[in-house]
Amino acid sequence: MAIRLHSHTAELRRMLREQRDQGETIGFVATMGGLHAGHQSLIEASRGDGNFTVVSVFVNPAQFGPNEDFDSYPRDHDSDFELAVEAGGDLIWYPEVEDLYPEEAQTMVQPGPLGQRLCGLSRPQFFPGICTVVLKLFNLIQPHQAYFGAKDFQQLAIIQRMAADFYLDVDVVGCPIVREDDGLAMSSRNLKLEPEDRDLALTLYRTITRAQTAFAEGERDAAKLREALVAEWPEGLELDYLDFRDPEFLEDCAHLTEDTRIFLGAWLNGVRLIDNARLTP
């Protein structure tokens, strides 16, 4: 029987101590809710590794800017519970803001250069907010393994960096992007897309496949390929970035190689969309 726990941090820690004492390894999947098959793939990966699997559902205020969609972010605790349990979650935890940010809390984690590019440019509070909440969650849950999706590739790289920099005793595991049949990367925010915007949203995936085709046909000049892709960018979809970066430091690549990734960020009528892929799929 899966456990559903709201708030009650002390009880969470007690239950997890009990699991550890019984010899269980703890797997952790951090989410902001609005669960879909992408989240479920992370839970399944944790279960597949034989872990007692904890799923947190928390819309983290610290990672939202003042004009972003914190208030309208999808929230449905019952559906999240069902989907998490269906995928094999053992303990679904819904912390309150006061559990993670009590009045006296002050300390924030500041990522380095990795956090200041791509999404970090237009959302300066984003990665400090993410690192801060993830470190708090890691310390409360003390997972052996924590699973993050490659859809948020920059987030995954930053959390892996943080875990190494702070000697955290957790294995941060990256999991592949789960897509809809038409290629759209699954995302909680897709729920907020107007039906007529769906085709425009697919531009990100289409751009990825165009870049992959151009690379397969021999294109190696990043600036030239970028210019060609941006020239085809449709009106109505606000481009934040379309960059070619190396997978480790996320630095700009002038010359494209097999390891180069394409990264895209955009807004569609206020809905944030991101995607990325290796140039050789």
Are the CB atoms for 41 and 175 separated by under 8 Å? yes
Is 265 annotated in a binding site? The answer is: no
Are the CB atoms for 145 and 138 separated by under 8 Å? no
Active site residue: 8, 39, 77, 144, which one? 39
Is 192 annotated in a binding site? The answer is: no
The beta-carbon contacts of 61-66 under 8 Å, at least 24 apart in sequence, are 61/97, 61/101, 61/129, 62/101, 62/108, 62/125, 62/128, 62/129, 62/132, 62/133, 63/123, 63/125, 63/126, 63/127, 63/128, 63/129, 63/130, 63/133, 64/125, 64/129, 65/123, 65/124, 65/125, 65/126
Active site residue 39: yes
> According to the binding rule CB under 6 A, does residue 32 interact with ligand PAF?
yes
* Token pair recorded at residue 252: 């700009």
Is 144 annotated in a binding site? The answer is: no
> According to the binding rule CB under 6 A, does residue 152 interact with ligand BAL?
yes
> According to the binding rule CB under 6 A, does residue 133 interact with ligand PAF?
yes
Q: Candidates 16, 134, 157, 178: give the one binding ligand PAF (CB under 6 A).
A: 134
Residues 40-49 as b/e (b if ≥16 CB within 10 A, e otherwise) read bbbbbbbbee
Is 56 annotated in a binding site? The answer is: no
Q: Candidates 53, 63, 260, 276: give the one binding ligand BAL (CB under 6 A).
A: 63
Q: Which does 16 bind (CB under 5 to 8 A by kind): ligand BAL, ligand ATP, ligand PAF, none?
A: none
Would you tell me which residues interact with ligand ATP (CB under 6 A)? 31-32, 38-39, 41-42, 148-149, 151-152, 175, 177-178, 185-189
Would you tell me which residues interact with ligand BAL (CB under 6 A)? 32, 63, 152, 272
Feature table: binding site for beta-alanine: 63
Would you tell me which residues interact with ligand PAF (CB under 6 A)? 30-32, 60, 63, 130, 133-134, 152, 155
